[in-house]
Amino acid sequence: MSGYVGILVSDPCLQNQFTQVELRSLKSHFTSMRRENGKLTLGDLASRISRLKVVGENLSDQETTDFIAALYPNFNDEVDFESFLKVYLKLHAHASSRTGNPAKNSSAFLKAATTTLLYTISESEKASYVAHINNYLAQDGFLNKYLPIDPSSNDLFEIVKDGVLLCKLINVAVPGTIDERAINTKRLLNPWERNENHTLCLNSAKAIGCTVVNIGTQDFIEGRRHLVLGLISQIIKIQLLADLNLKKTPQLVELVDDSKDVEELMSLPPEKILLRWMNFQLNKSSYKKTVTNFSTDVKDAEAYAHLLNVLAPEHSNPSTLAVKDPLQRAKLVLDHADRMGCKRYLTAKDIVDGSPNLNLAFVAHVFQHRNGLSTQTKQISFLETLPDDAQVSREERVFRFWINSLGNSTYIDNVFEDLRNGWILLETLDKVSPGIVNWKVANKPPIKLPFKKVENCNQVVKIGKQLKFSLVNIAGNDIVQGNKKLILAYLWQLMRFNILQLLKNLRSHSHGKEITDVDILRWANTKVSNSGSQSRMDSFKDKSLSDGIFFLELLSAVQPRSVNWSLVTEGVTDEQKKMNATYIISIARKLGCSIFLLPEDIIEVNQKMILTLTASIMYWFLKQPVEEKPAATSDSENGSQLETLSNSTTDDSASESSVE
């Protein structure tokens, strides 16, 4: 990681202030500001740096200008990247002090669930996660020589260095995410193969909903313990909460009274559903408090004692509620859980200490083992009245995970609910097109007044029109009202704009000109044709793509060693198509493509997802240094393709490959 930082920044003091991800994002902002005039002076910077959220939210333009003028009297001096970073840090500290939250370092710029300022780990959490891994991966043929891991040692951080364990753990959490044929599982892996496994792991983790903004492959190789545990914690949490939805556990409908409440329940994040379930069961007991968190509200273990008495009265112990000492009560609660057959990954001390991660895991385990819900036909019939649109559900999932992968300030659980105040959409727009949001007129959550939400969403729509999105009859209030069709339409255009901008920003290839869907289609066909294959795709909705062969040939063309053709099927039956589709997605992620589609999207030839897959492969290939590109790709071949890209003026709407 430090090597990459050094490429951008030579000053060691600055290197210590930023992660590589923060530097990359700040570099993007700096380049965007400088591009407007070809250079950037201190005078320009004073007027433009307010586009950065931490500055624009807290300082007026005049305050920013005055602050910079006090530091640097000559506004005609040109600003290089390191000077920009120094100004940013000083403004950041000044802006943060204005809000009463002095910044410890620059990490307010990008937040992630896996980042921490103090690089310490919880030994109790580590022991819990190791026990979980030992339990769920004990039968794995490759890992059994390393398991069980000793929780009191640091062996976990050595074992993850080859990437295999984390890939396998992802598949435990969400089965089928990674095609295990794509994992490098030789006994001794070279650095390239280890890096491929880590890349596959990180891209797959993003695709199941983990936040990995500040984690790179080098962090695994170096065994950075807080980052490794942070990712493992997220993966295990996703596994434990997987059943907390109406699709997996329709009996949850018992928690609500009518179909309107069912829709509200469906929009809740899994942790909230788990809390609602816990309180639903506690209402059957004499416990009168409402549990609102998995920390302070459960520290005395009383709620747990009542919960387990309701779920498994046959194993109850009268002493549990009689004892006065919370630690002793917590021990009796865990004894009760043991008699129920619940595996426990926390100690009595973890309960009393209020460890939120471990307490959530404990309650989730109890729910999985015995949820105490009935299967009354009358209640479950509510579900039959609700729309079941698999396509909408799949698209919502793709856009949700994509937005979460960008490292916004808030993790979203449902795009139709969590985007309604406009704030996360503004943050996403700022990530995709740095500086485009006017933060001076944006309203920061929590937002109580409805018209403030409309103001945010009106700016979202205005920016969309500025970016030439098709937004006929869409107003900010449609987003506030949670109009599913219009929200999905906006998000698709935003996601598509993002990948086209990434391609355009590879200026050595596109010469800064717009990239179109037609360019992407032509590039893919040219790559496959030049590799000697007869395959081609006529458009992004070409039904022949369902067998996966074209994409395997494209992946092989951009990286010949990536595809093991002995594992490829003919793609005739549904099962063969699915095998090829899962292999394609894992190979693309292993190369470095950040993609969020499912195998079904390839099998059914989902036009939008096929475009993003092709564009992601193209982006990965074009950003590779020339010396790292496959030997089969000659300079003249690259030149002709890139000339085609830069000279293309075909309008998207004129091509069948355009996605509307």
Do residues 591 and 605 touch, judged by C-beta distance below 8 A? Answer: no
CA distance 106 to 117: 10
Domain with CATH 1.10.418.10 in the chain: 131-215, 250-369, 390-506, 517-623
Do residues 612 and 499 touch, judged by C-beta distance below 8 A? Answer: yes
Do residues 272 and 260 touch, judged by C-beta distance below 8 A? Answer: no
- Domain 390-506: CATH class, spelled out: mainly alpha
Range 396-400 contact pairs with CB under 8 angstroms and sequence separation of 24 or more: 396/484, 396/488, 397/596, 398/495, 398/596, 398/597, 398/609, 399/488, 399/491, 399/492, 399/495, 400/209
CA distance 623 to 215: 20
Total H helices, total E strands in the chain: 34, 0
Q: How confident is the model at residue 216 (pLDDT cuts 50, 70, 90)?
A: confident
Which of 142-146, 199-203, 621-625 is the most confident on average? 199-203
Query: What average pLDDT does this structure show over 51-64?
Result: 73
Q: How confident is the model at residue 13 (pLDDT cuts 50, 70, 90)?
A: low
Do residues 201 and 235 touch, judged by C-beta distance below 8 A? Answer: no
Residue 651: per-residue pLDDT: 36
> φ and ψ at 78, to 5 degrees?
-80, 145
Q: CATH assignment of 250-369, given 3.40.50.300, 1.20.1560.10, 1.10.3720.10, 1.10.418.10?
A: 1.10.418.10
CA distance 522 to 420: 38
* pTM of the full structure: 0.79
Say yes or no to pLDDT of 248 above 90: no
44-58, 174-188, 444-458, 614-628: which has the minimum mean pLDDT? 44-58
CA distance 336 to 405: 40
Residue 5: per-residue pLDDT: 39
Q: Is 502 left (phi over 0), alpha (psi -120 to 50) or beta?
A: alpha
Specify the CATH number of the domain 12-99. Answer: 1.10.238
Angle at 426 between CA 423 and CA 427, to 5 degrees: 90
Residue 376: per-residue pLDDT: 63
Q: How confident is the model at residue 25 (pLDDT cuts 50, 70, 90)?
A: confident
User: What is the pLDDT of the chain when averaged over all its residues?
Assistant: 84
**pLDDT tens profile 167-177:** 999 999 999 99
CA distance 325 to 271: 28
Residue 15: per-residue pLDDT: 60
Query: How many C-beta neighbours within 10 Å does residue 158 have?
Result: 12
Residue 633: per-residue pLDDT: 46
Query: What average pLDDT does this structure show over 67-78?
Result: 80
Say yes or no to pLDDT of 357 above 50: yes
Q: How confident is the model at residue 213 (pLDDT cuts 50, 70, 90)?
A: confident
Say yes or no to pLDDT of 640 above 90: no
**pLDDT tens profile 305-336:** 999 999 999 999 999 999 999 999 999 999 99
CATH 1.10.418.10 fits 517-623, yes or no: yes
Range 511-517 contact pairs with CB under 8 angstroms and sequence separation of 24 or more: 511/646, 513/645, 513/646, 513/648, 515/645, 515/648, 516/648, 516/650, 516/651, 516/652, 516/655, 517/611, 517/652, 517/655, 517/657, 517/658, 517/659
**pLDDT tens profile 365-404:** 999 999 999 866 555 555 555 555 676 788 999 999 999 9
Q: Which amino acid makes up residue 580?
A: N
Residue 511: per-residue pLDDT: 66
More confident residue, 195 or 66: 195
Say yes or no to pLDDT of 641 above 60: no
Q: How confident is the model at residue 92 (pLDDT cuts 50, 70, 90)?
A: confident
Q: Is 402 left (phi over 0), alpha (psi -120 to 50) or beta?
A: alpha
More confident residue, 34 or 141: 141
Q: Which amino acid makes up residue 57?
A: E
What CA–CA distances, in Å, run from 539 to 368, 394, 494, 520, 525? 45, 22, 21, 10, 10
Query: What average pLDDT does this structure show over 212-228?
Result: 85
What is the Rg, in whole angstroms, of the alpha carbon atoms belonging to the chain? 26
The DSSP secondary-structure symbol of 78 reads: B
Residue 375: per-residue pLDDT: 67
Q: Can you tell me which residue has the tokens 């909460």?
A: 241
More confident residue, 501 or 636: 501
Say yes or no to pLDDT of 119 above 80: no
Do residues 422 and 456 touch, judged by C-beta distance below 8 A? Answer: yes
Do residues 315 and 336 touch, judged by C-beta distance below 8 A? Answer: yes
Give helix 302-311 / helix 326-340 axis angle, nearest 10°: 20
Domain with CATH 1.10.238 in the chain: 12-99
Q: Comparing C-alpha atoms, which of 391, 464, 388, 460 is closest to residue 420?
A: 460
The structural architecture, per CATH, of the domain 131-215 is Orthogonal Bundle (1.10)
Query: What average pLDDT does this structure show over 446-451?
Result: 91
Percent of the chain with pLDDT over 70: 83
How are the residues of the chain apportioned to helix, strand and coil, as percentages rounded to the nearest 5? 65, 0, 35
Query: What average pLDDT does this structure show over 420-429?
Result: 96
Say yes or no to pLDDT of 8 above 90: no
Query: What average pLDDT does this structure show over 29-56?
Result: 73
> Hey, what are 101's tokens?
């939250």
Residue 215: per-residue pLDDT: 86
Do residues 570 and 580 touch, judged by C-beta distance below 8 A? Answer: no
Beta strand residue intervals within 391-531, DSSP E: none
